Amino acid sequence: MPKTRGLQRAQLLQTQQPGSGRKAAPDSLDRSQADGLAVLMDAYLVRLAVKHQSPRTIETRRRALVAFVKWCQERELMNPRQITRPILESYQRHLWHHRTKAEKPLAVGTQIGRLAAVRGLFKWLCREAWLDADPAAHLEMPKEEHRLPADTLSESEVAAILAVPNIADPLGIRDRTMLELLYSTGIRRAELVRVQLRDLHRERRTLHVEGKGDKERIVPVGERALQWIERYLAEVRPLLHIHADEQALFLTGYGRAFSANSLGNLIKANIKKAHPGRAGNCHLLRHACATHMLEHGADVRIIQQLLGHSKLETTQVYTEVSIKLLQDVHARTHPSSQAATTAATEAHDDLADG
């Protein structure tokens, strides 16, 4: 079985020396001009490091800017003074038309992230007097999407997903624990893979989360999820702990933290096994967490704090799928619903009397 092999692989690696790690691939950019886009991009990234931006944020910006500079150099646009607002709008159209290897368009959030990195670069170039005017200052960003599944998971459907991992297998205990924590806290997959041992406060039943934009928050952990975490820490993590420097809460069979993609694929496989034919990923559990709390009476502002949304409007989209709560309130308060209930009661009484 794959999971057994994964555990055996971890046990084998525990007897071996850790690898030196992978080196970053070269970006193939032309850095022949001292004041060219590529060289100034490097200086900007160094500045972000000096400002104590997180390595994750810097790497995200680097990838976005490398893609932009490469696009410019393919068009012989080597110097930032050559870049105008129409050129940036052309790059924006390029992002909109771009298709991945799977022939899918870039997500709107991805397009926004890439353009935000470009705006950050040109803002810095103006501040450092490399440019007199910022061509990206008035660039209109795409409208961010707030899409939810048409059919959010019910509580029984979530229960079916939680029951998928084989808890007779140590890695099944790990997988069940991750599912429980995702549903209990509503955290994102990228947030879960960054959780360290020190982030869990068992006595206070809370989790320290590093969210989008390096924003931090504290979220409560439900009692059931906490019990699974305790079991995982006692029975499973020691079997996976290969590298002394690895402090991630959840470990793969290689003894390292999950990547966002590997975690997403694992969760997706569990969802598919519980509900064949249904597409879904970690966000389904995040949606379910928010929707079920709303249906049980939680205030939308509490949900906003739990999910780490900076704007209430982002959280309010969850109320659109919380139809059960809306139906209950409608049945209790709308005159037509009350009249129908009264008529049904009277008809029942007449039948009983007859």
Whether the CA torsion 93, 97, 100, 101 is positive or negative: it is: negative
Q: List the structure tokens of 162.
A: 């939680």
In whole angstroms, what is the distance from residue 79 CA to residue 60 CA? Answer: 22
For the question of residue 188 being annotated catalytic, the response is yes
Burial class for 112, CB neighbours closer than 10 Å (0-12, 13-18, 19+): middle
In DSSP terms, which residues pair with 206 in a beta bridge?
A: 201, 220
Active site residue 286: yes
Catalytic, out of 204, 205, 212, 224: 212
Active-site hit among 194, 286, 287, 292: 286
List the catalytic residue out of 44, 183, 232, 318: 318
Which is the catalytic residue, given 62, 174, 188, 256?
Answer: 188
Return the structure tokens found at 179: 């599912």
Q: Which of 47, 85, 243, 283 is catalytic?
A: 283
Chain centroid offset of residue 3 CA: 25
Question: Does 283 participate in catalysis according to the annotation?
Answer: yes
What HEC string does the chain produce? CHHHHHHHHHHHHCCCCCCCCCCCCCCCCCCCCCCCHHHHHHHHHHHHHHCCCCHHHHHHHHHHHHHHHHHHHHCCCCCHHHCCHHHHHHHHHHHHHCECCCCCECCHHHHHHHHHHHHHHHHHHHHCCCCCCCCCCCCCCCCCCCCCCCCCCCHHHHHHHHCCCCCCCHHHHHHHHHHHHHHHHCCCHHHHHCCEHHHEECCCCEEEEECHHHCEEEEECCHHHHHHHHHHHHHCHHHHCCCCCCCECCECCCCCECCHHHHHHHHHHHHHHHCCCCCCCHHHHHHHHHHHHHHCCCCHHHHHHHHCCCCHHHHHHHHHCCHHHHHHHHHHHCHHHHHHHHHHHHHHHHHHHC
Residues that are catalytic:
188, 212, 283, 286, 309, 318
